[in-house]
Chains A and B, each alone.
Chain A
Amino acid sequence: MKAPKQPHFKMHLLRATSIARRYMVTNGFDGALTILGMVTGFFISGMTDLEVALSACMGATIALFISGISSAYLSEKAEREKELHGLEQALVTDLKQSDYGQASRYLPVLVALVNGFSPFVLSLLILMPLFFADSLYAWSMNPFLSSIAVALMCIFVLGVFLGKISQTFWLWSGLKTLVIAVITVAIILFFGRTF
């Protein structure tokens, strides 16, 4: 007879989805603000060498990706192992072959991938205007300003996503994150002009 479907593994997956969603927003926001800060810095310094700006931003993007993957994997793995060990002690049994054991092995990988790719993808989106700078110059558009606009848009969308999760008014939630980004830009502009 065929074994029945295992809804309890889905339960672990659902739990991981909620953790991954949290990581996605947290690290995505982190990544977007970092790149926004860098691009704003390059803009106010009057940087014209796009290759230098792109290299620096890509360096930060890759670092965010690696940091996101490794930090989430290590912390999530440690948490899962602690939880599994506690449960094994309570049940006085080995749970390595159980759904709990499988979850403690596979779910940290899933969460780590989300945590790594979230800032990576957002950073690449924000850097798109720098990649296509030649086309933007043809339209008399500043690639740095376009990049800042894309970053603000991404951060607004993250806020909207948060609003959808918390089932609050999406526009208000989006505006809240947008205000944080605008304040960040304002502080960078202030210090950029001071020094």
Chain B
Amino acid sequence: MATIRRLVLDVLKPHQPSAIVFASTLADFSADYWVSLDVTEMDEKTETTVITIEGDDIRFEELAAAIERMGGSIHSIDEVEVTGSEQG
């Protein structure tokens, strides 16, 4: 099964938790996760962010659940990089 190496997500999040806490929570799922969060737009109650996650084997469902738990909403998957594995 192919493994996800890189994901770029367009996420709308509330102001709290902060960008640092939000990104750190996602990064804490695995020691090899590298997470970058850019706030592209700021509204009265929300922030539009672009979250880039890199890792050896990114588990999207796990991250999506964490984002939703923190009050975020994934608008789109803007980029994805995967590596395939030989089917036995």
Residues of A within 8 A of B (CB): 1, 3-8, 11, 86-87, 90-93, 95, 97-100
Q: Is the CB of A87 within 8 A of B45?
A: yes
Given contacts A1-B30, A8-B22, A98-B68, 19 further A-B contacts (CB under 8 A): A1-B29, A1-B59, A4-B25, A4-B66, A7-B17, A8-B16, A8-B25, A87-B14, A87-B71, A90-B14, A90-B45, A90-B46, A91-B45, A91-B71, A92-B12, A93-B12, A95-B71, A98-B70, A99-B71
Contact of B29 among A4, A7, A11, A91 (CB under 8 A): A4
Q: Is the CB of B25 within 8 A of A91?
A: no
Interface code B34-75, partner A: CB below 8 Å = 1, 0 otherwise?
A: 000000000111100000000000010010001011111100
Across-interface contacts of B62 in A (CB, < 8 A): 1, 3
> How far is the CB of B85 from the nearest CB of chain A, in Å?
19
Residues of B within 8 A of A (CB): 12-14, 16-17, 21-22, 24-25, 28-30, 43-46, 59, 62, 66, 68-73
> How far is the CB of A24 from the nearest CB of chain B, in Å?
24
Across-interface contacts of A97 in B (CB, < 8 A): 68-69
Nearest A-chain residue to B74, judged by Cβ: A93
Nearest A-chain residue to B66, judged by Cβ: A3
> How far is the CB of B87 from the nearest CB of chain A, in Å?
25
Nearest A-chain residue to B68, judged by Cβ: A98
Q: Is the CB of B73 within 8 A of A91?
A: yes
- Once A and B bind, how many residue pairs between them come within 8 Å at the CB atom? 62
Across-interface contacts of A6 in B (CB, < 8 A): 25, 69
Q: Is the CB of A4 within 8 A of B44?
A: no
Q: Is the CB of B70 within 8 A of A90?
A: no
Q: Is the CB of B71 within 8 A of A100?
A: yes
How far apart sit A5 and B14, CA to CA, in the bound complex (Å)?
19
Q: Is the CB of B17 within 8 A of A93?
A: no
Q: Is the CB of A90 within 8 A of B29?
A: no
Residue among B22, B45, B62, B69 having the largest count of chain A Cβ atoms under 10 Å: B69
How far apart sit A47 and B66, CA to CA, in the bound complex (Å)?
63
Q: Is the CB of A100 within 8 A of B14?
A: yes
Across-interface contacts of B44 in A (CB, < 8 A): 90
> How far is the CB of B23 from the nearest CB of chain A, in Å?
12
Across-interface contacts of A92 in B (CB, < 8 A): 12, 73
Nearest B-chain residue to A83, judged by Cβ: B45
How far apart sit A153 and B68, CA to CA, in the bound complex (Å)?
49
Across-interface contacts of A99 in B (CB, < 8 A): 69-71
Q: Is the CB of A11 within 8 A of B17?
A: yes
Q: Is the CB of A4 within 8 A of B43?
A: no
Q: Is the CB of B69 within 8 A of A98?
A: yes
